[in-house]
Amino acid sequence: MMLPLLILSIALASVSSPIGMSRQALVVKTTSWTSSQGLLQRYERSSGTAPWRSAGPTFPVVVGRNGMGWGVGLHNQNGYGTEKREGDGRAPAGIFKLSAVFGYAPPGAYPWLKMPYYEAYGALKCIDDPRSSHYNRLVDAGSVAADWSSCEDMRRADEQYRRGIVVEHNPAPAIPGRGSCIFIHIWKNPESGTAGCTTMSPENLEKILRWLDPAANPVLIQLPETAYRQLRSAWELP
């Protein structure tokens, strides 16, 4: 779906940069709102007001099988277009904080890692039931009362969650139905669209994990090309 240019133009008049003082940004761009494939470029800057510079080459990523829909994040929620909803097969569009890393290995397995780390053990679940009081939260299923009818196992039978990054889409207090359990993780393959996450090769994911620094307030900027061009100036995008 194309953004209504009039709606977007009106919204731009009152939008300030949602990036704030971030000094690291992952920029994912796709060719359209319905595309499931895109390119990722890392950017960094020396201060919150310095110019952005690229940090390494671009590489391919896979997003939602149905493309993107506007998510809930650091950006202004002005109803630009189609919103991401639970189960819609869309990745969230917008700007989102990157808060932590998770994986199958125990804590301390990656001494080079600077981000907070959570081990994805068997009881760790991400709750995707909008009716649950734990909606869009990672919980230990053995230590909380289960009030959900569906959840996502963080310790999967495959390699896709061997390493991943938590994307702060629809953060607490989560809006029921606006989407949950959004991560950056290892892809199934370069062609298969996701339920809403952003995926890539394990080699490229490791490059990002070694680079991310919580002191730099890293963010994910994820948009189709058309929206990126329209919002670049107002949002002070790289």
pLDDT class of 52 with cuts at 50, 70, 90: very high
Report pLDDT for 189. Answer: 96
Evaluate if pTM is beyond 0.75.
Answer: yes
Does residue 196 fall inside a structural domain? Answer: yes
Report pLDDT for 11. Answer: 40
Does residue 128 fall inside a structural domain? Answer: yes
Amino acid 149 reads: S
Does residue 2 fall inside a structural domain? Answer: no
Does residue 103 fall inside a structural domain? Answer: yes
Span 143-163, average pLDDT:
96
Does residue 14 fall inside a structural domain? Answer: no
- pLDDT digit string, tens, across residues 54-90: 999 999 999 999 999 999 999 976 556 799 999 999 9
What does the alpha-carbon distance between residue 131 and residue 177 come to, in Å, rounded to a whole number? 9
Report pLDDT for 13. Answer: 37
| Domains held by the chain: number | 1
Does residue 6 fall inside a structural domain? Answer: no
Report pLDDT for 79. Answer: 55
Q: Is it the case that residue 161 has pLDDT exceeding 70?
A: yes
Q: Are 52 and 44 in contact (CB under 8 A)?
A: yes
Does residue 93 fall inside a structural domain? Answer: yes
Does residue 187 fall inside a structural domain? Answer: yes
What contacts 180, CB < 8 A, 6 or more positions away?
86, 126, 127, 128, 130, 135, 136, 170, 174
pLDDT class of 40 with cuts at 50, 70, 90: very high
Q: Is the dihedral of CA 178, 181, 186, 192 positive or negative?
A: negative
> Between these two residues, 8 and 195, which has the higher pLDDT value?
195
Range of the domain at 191: 22-235
